[in-house]
Amino acid sequence: MTEDEKLHEEAEELRRETADGAPELAEHDRIAELEAQLEEASSKALYAAAETQNVRRRLEQEKEQASAYAAAQFARDMLAIKDHLERALVAVNEELRTDKLASQFLAGIEATARELESVFAKNGITRIKSIGEPLDPHRHQAMMEIPSDAEPGTIVEEMQAGYMLKDRLLRPALVGVAKKPD
- Do both 137 and 113 map to the same domain? no
**Average pLDDT per 10 consecutive residues for the chain, totaling 182 residues:** 70 64 68 90 92 94 82 88 91 87 89 94 93 95 93 94 92 95 79
Instruction: Give the predicted TM-score (pTM) of the model.
Output: 0.62
Q: Nearest CA to 92 among 80, 103, 81?
A: 103
- Do both 7 and 36 map to the same domain? yes
Cα-based angle 129, 90, 175 (whole degrees, multiple of 5): 35
State the total domains in the chain: 3
- Do both 89 and 56 map to the same domain? no
